[in-house]
Amino acid sequence: MAFAPAVGSVGLVTVIVKMPAPDGVYKPLPVIVPPLADQLTPAPLVPGPLAPTVEAWLTWNGGSVWQRIFDFGSNSGGENGQGTGLTYMILTPRSGGNFMHFAITTNSSGSELSADSPQMLPIGQRVHVAVSYDYLAGTSGLFLNGQRIANGTATDPLSQINDVNVWLGKSQWNDPYLNGQFDEFRIYNGALSDQQLAASYAAGPDALFGPVPRLDVQLSGSSLKLLWPLNAPGFQLEQTSNVSGGGWTAVTTPPAIQNGQHVVTVPTANAVQFFRLRK
């Protein structure tokens, strides 16, 4: 598992977390995951107070409603307890309406802001799920296997979430534990774009976003192919005819994903061309 900022290098722990635990004892997230709203002494693994992204690769084995993929917040039972959920951010594979449900609230269930998929999480297969919560833009997104499947509003600041319980597979309420296993879980300090999450899904759970990538160029007839790795999403390809004079402009052709690479194909020109990646 990796707990990572959106940019930078992190370590990997090669372990699959199964839930419920074989010994019947629930194990919360490691203490390296600090409070969501920790704005005074931010650490490298603190989700941004305004726009975090949470993603996971997991296999859900089905079962009762209201299990949790994650649940960050507080309840009437206090720290390490369960009861009535008070403030929280959650993702469940199957709600009472039989669909995957993301929600955030600062005033229990009656004030939830949600993003709901058309169906519940697939059973018995490893999937990629993600939630992007952008308080500044006022929008949230729910993703399955790299594709946006639902939208919601994001008007609750994370500073209002009293996240004394930061849990994978366990609910603030008296709901059943998750019946499944995690292959990877990540929290990013920033709202990842649709393109970034599609690239992360394509790269898979064992590839982490790396440093500034190398831009490769291939000549193919009257076209140029410009390529950079999938583990470096979010970069804008730019071009200019004069590096000393500035004037860099964005290449508007969207990148395709081919053989583990971002690929942009542009026509050649009868002039000097320079390309770069910028973030």
- pLDDT tens series, the chain, 279 aa: 333 333 322 223 334 455 555 555 444 443 333 344 332 223 333 344 578 899 999 999 999 999 999 999 999 999 999 999 999 999 999 999 999 999 999 999 999 999 999 999 999 999 999 999 999 899 999 999 999 999 999 999 888 899 899 999 999 999 999 999 999 999 887 888 898 898 889 889 987 766 678 899 999 888 999 999 887 777 889 999 887 776 899 999 989 988 888 999 999 888 888 899 887
> Which ranges of 162-252 does DSSP label H, i.e. alpha helix?
194-203
CATH of region 17-203, choose from 1.20.1090.10, 2.40.50.140, 2.40.240.10, 2.60.120.200: 2.60.120.200
Long-range CB pairs of 109-116, under 8 A, 24+ apart, other chains included: 109/85, 113/140, 113/152, 113/153, 113/154, 113/155, 113/156, 114/152, 115/140, 115/141, 115/142, 115/150, 115/151, 115/152, 116/142, 116/150, 116/152
pTM: 0.68
* Residue 87 Cα distances to 5, 75, 96, 171, 225, angstroms: 24, 7, 19, 12, 49
Q: Copy the structure tokens of residue 78.
A: 């206090």
Scored b (16 or more CB within 10 A) or e, 227-243 reads: bbbbbbbebebebbeee
Strand segments (E) across 138-188: 139-144, 147-153, 165-168, 180-188
Measure the CA–CA gap between 241 and 246, rounded to whole angstroms.
9
CATH 2.60.120.200 range(s) for the chain read 17-203
